[in-house]
Amino acid sequence: MSKSNQTKQKQIFRNSEGNQWYQRNKSKLESAVCDEGNDQVLASVKALRLQPHSILEIGCSNGWRLENLRQLYNAKCYGIDPSAIAIQEGKTLFKKLCLEKGEADSLPFENDKFDLVIFGFCLYLCDRDDIFKIAFEADRVLQEKGHIVILDFHPPFPYSNEYKHYPGLFSYKMNYANIFLWNPAYFMASQIIFNHSGTTDMNEPDDRLSVSILYKCGQLAYPENPFIVKKKE
């Protein structure tokens, strides 16, 4: 099936593959709950000394990362994921989280609700014609002077791979910080690049990941024109 006439990937993840992804990775997620020291997202948030009060994770799985953040910062934590199984199990495991089934291009939250928005390793599976919607929605719910965290692939240039778990789907790899950095209201606060296995080996570009933290500050976006020569009175 060609990319032009395939069923939208979000529909397939909503209907079946979201649950399948969760079941394949469930044992890894259970280990991560107890070993948050290996989570580069949490490490990056700590390194910047952020103090979030209201957090949204897009692609939260069962909420394991949010639970670690909630315990660390006593923050109000919300998560969305296409997997109904992941969300239901997360509600059972982590009763203080607010989790619901949902998608990145249509966030069920009011404007300016969060001071921290996390993309939890999900953008590479999103439909390409939804990317601008996804960026808009994240910006809409993020407060001024808030932060966006993006965990995703970090190849040397954008490209796609066939998704090995479901015929006709694709993994789209790129530096996803760029979908925000064109906007002068966003600034790169930090970025770490590492291998998918957790090592610092950079010899396999296809397995390269990054955690990027972006700062939103519209007040700094358009400074006074530096090219106008002011006349003296």
What pLDDT does 210 receive?
Answer: 95
Cβ-count burial 196-207 (b if 16+ within 10 Å, e if not): eeeeeeeeeeeb
The tokens describing 98, both together, are 């607010």
Can you give the residue ranges of every domain in the chain? 9-220
The tokens describing 231, both together, are 């006349």
For residue 27, give Cα distances in angstroms to 22, 30, 34, 118.
9, 5, 12, 22
> How far apart, in whole angstroms, are the C-alpha atoms of residue 57 and residue 35?
19
CB proximity list for 147: less than 8 A, separation 6 or greater: 48, 50, 52, 115, 116, 117, 189, 213, 214, 215, 216
Per-residue pLDDT of the chain (233 residues; tens, 9 = 90+): 344 446 899 999 999 999 999 999 888 776 666 566 689 999 999 999 999 999 999 999 999 999 999 999 999 999 999 999 999 999 999 999 999 999 999 999 999 999 999 999 999 999 999 999 999 999 999 999 999 999 999 999 999 999 999 999 999 999 999 999 999 999 999 999 998 876 666 778 999 999 999 999 999 999 988 888 766 65
pTM above 0.75, yes or no: yes
Find the helix or strand (DSSP H, E) in which 159 lies: strand 159-162
In 3D space, the residue among 140, 144, 104 whose CA is nearest the CA of residue 123 turns out to be: 104
Structural domain 9-220, CATH architecture: 3-Layer(aba) Sandwich (3.40)
